[in-house]
Amino acid sequence: MEFTAEQIAEILQGEILGDKHIKVSGLAKIEEGQTGALSFLSNPKYEEYIYSTLSSICIVNKSFEPNKSLPSTLTLIKVEDAYACFAKLLELYNNLSKKEPAIEQPSFIHDSAVVGEGLFLGAFAYIGKNTKVGENVTIHPNSVIGENVKIGDNTIIHPGVTIYQDCIVGSNCIIHAGTVIGSDGFGFAPNEKGEFQKVPQIGNVVVEDFVEIGSNCSIDRATMGSTIIRKGVKIDNLCQIAHNVEIGQNSAMAAQVGIAGSAKIGKSVMIGGQAGISGHLHIADGTKIVAQSGIPSSVKKAETLMGSPGIPLDDFKKSYFGFRKLPHILTKLTELENEIKELRKK
């Protein structure tokens, strides 16, 4: 699909410098631009590329003033915030490429299931008994939607996703390939013989609106009650959320984060990759946890934590500075011990 500079400027309420009739049909990084591509410049570190880019249109901030000649084939669109405007165009492009309503075959929808208008159901997908699917939902091939599941409007479920029985997914959510929602929590109790007996997991998972979950994540159903992912949460790939966890509104976590059972994560919490959070604790609203940190106890006030166990970032930096000096300190200590021995001999 092609757009002219004039059409793009109208969408973004921008000012055109160059050929308003020039057309683009794709998006590209400014350093990788090709004829017919649309790029953007926001970070000054990349300014050098705008003087050699092959892109046909570039979105720039209104404050941008070139300090040398631009390519004659390049048209600029000046806006208040180039990054935000380019993100807006990416969202528009993504919506235009959304699947048209269709039910591919072979696929299965149980007679008791209720599906809204505008459904795209990919081949080999399955919708179970008494399940309710909202309007304009996209369910890609090989996905399994179990019994009594509820899915809100405009949600996108990518290939190979499994949503177990009784789980709820809100509106405008995106769940990426291979993710499992509602698998059993890790509940076992040893008997008198020392053998592990499975504790039935009879709860569910509730995912509220505007949540995005990356690929190959696992979100366990509650033992009783619900594991809850609140509105606006963003979860990266390969994360593990255990049973009865609650993640507060607008929190985000990077890849390979693990959260143990019954932990309560506050609002607007940011968790770096490979961080681990112990079970049955509370993390205060606004807390930031640096990558690869381990959190063994509750965090009562918002702060940035680093290390294992996690401590305030400034304390960690001071401790690390001391740790790096340990070899030098040990050498000096050995020298002092030897000097003391010599003095005792004398």
What positions carry a catalytic annotation?
243
Half-sphere exposure of 263 (CA within 13 A, CB side): 22
Distance CA 288, CA 293 (A): 11
Residue ranges of alpha helices (H) inside the chain are: 5-12, 47-50, 82-96, 313-324, 326-345
CA angle 149, 151, 156 (to 5 degrees): 130
**Burial (CB count <10 Å: 0-12, 13-18, 19+), residue 282:** middle
CA distance 54 to 59: 14
Q: How far apart are CA 159 and CA 180, in angstroms?
A: 11
Say if residue 296 is preceded by a cis peptide, omega within 30 of 0.
no
